[in-house]
């Protein structure tokens, strides 16, 4: 059986791709981040339309819901909520970010310009309760995402492994459309696991349309960590398989 590749309509997605100011950004160290991550299986065939051709769909396909509160950053506190579709570049697992809702204008600008985050304005909230963690995101007063981690249970931070993100962006220097790999470092001070539950998801708000169909829950984690947003190390040509179209830009 030949390998499967993503079938993203690149021309359509390119219209909203953020502009990135080259690949020489310096790291940010973000202390005390609170991170809720839910993994949910999704219907395989339509999900191929949410991955660029440089990525292989994962088997089974799954979506990653990630909501993070950063209490301290160079641009002040901010929170961000995003949906990613899992896949691989070459053999390495990665998550293609569909959209990132963020509640701080300066953060939106810097995240897009430095790392190619597909940021849009939104309201993002985390509620920490004794038995669950609730995450909500909205835009223009309309809810776009609500999910929760149920039955909180302490684990070791060594049990957590987040996969790197892939951001579709246009390079200001040469106008080329690229996939930017962003692989933060995490130093965990607290970690919990639980059961994932997605209560509300506005597919259109995340650009997914009918292609993101939730199926079985997989896992959920809630962590507190110091996060380092790194120098950019790799970029990919979104139209070529990763083994052919990947460029190393930093050590």
* Separation of alpha carbons 248 and 232, rounded Å: 9
* Separation of alpha carbons 17 and 83, rounded Å: 16
pLDDT in tens, 67-97: 999 999 999 999 999 999 999 998 899 999 9
DSSP 2: P
Q: Is pTM beyond 0.85 here?
A: yes
Q: How far apart are the first and last CA of the chain?
A: 35
Quick one: average pLDDT of 110-122? 98
Predicted confidence (pLDDT) at residue 251 exceeds the cutoff of 90: no
Q: To 5 degrees, how large is the angle CA 57–CA 61–CA 67?
A: 105
Q: Kindly provide the b/e burial profile for residues 154-170, where b requires at least 16 CB atoms within 10 angstroms of the residue's own CB.
A: ebeeeebebbbbbbbbb
Write down the number of H helices and E strands in the chain: 4, 16
* Separation of alpha carbons 175 and 172, rounded Å: 5
The distance of Cα 160 from the centroid of its chain, to the nearest Å, equals: 16
pLDDT in tens, 173-209: 999 999 999 999 999 999 999 999 999 999 999 999 9
Predicted confidence (pLDDT) at residue 230 exceeds the cutoff of 70: yes
Can you tell me whether residue 246 is helix, strand or coil?
A: strand
pLDDT in tens, 126-152: 999 999 999 999 999 999 999 999 999
Least Cα distance to 23 among 242, 162, 179, 185 occurs for 179
User: How are the residues of the chain apportioned to helix, strand and coil, as percentages rounded to the nearest 5?
Assistant: 15, 55, 30
């Amino acid at each position: 059986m030949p390998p499967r590749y993503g079938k993203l309509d690149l021309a359509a997605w390119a219209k909203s791709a953020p502009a990135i100011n080259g690949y020489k950004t310096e790291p940010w160290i973000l202390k005390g981040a609170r991170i809720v991550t839910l993994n949910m299986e999704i219907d395989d065939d339509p999900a191929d339309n949410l991955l660029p051709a440089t990525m292989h769909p994962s088997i089974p396909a799954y979506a990653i819901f990630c909501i993070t509160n950063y209490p301290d950053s160079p641009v002040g506190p901010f929170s961000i909520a995003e949906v990613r579709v899992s896949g691989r570049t070459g053999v390495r697992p990665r998550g293609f970010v569909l959209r990132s809702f963020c509640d701080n204008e300066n953060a939106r600008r810097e995240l897009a310009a430095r790392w190619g985050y597909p940021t849009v304005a939104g309201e993002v909230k985390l509620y920490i309760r004794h038995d669950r963690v609730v995450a909500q995101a909205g835009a223009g007063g309309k809810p776009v995402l609500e999910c929760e981690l149920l039955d909180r249970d302490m684990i070791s931070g060594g049990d957590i492994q987040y996969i790197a993100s892939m951001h579709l962006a246009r390079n200001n220097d040469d106008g080329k459309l690229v996939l930017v790999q962003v692989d933060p470092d995490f130093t965990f001070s607290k970690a919990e696991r639980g059961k994932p539950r997605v209560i509300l998801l506005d597919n259109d708000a995340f650009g997914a349309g009918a292609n993101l169909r939730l199926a079985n829950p997989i896992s959920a984690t809630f962590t507190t960590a110091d996060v380092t947003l790194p120098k950019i190390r790799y970029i990919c040509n979104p139209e070529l398989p990763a083994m052919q179209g990947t460029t190393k830009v930093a050590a």
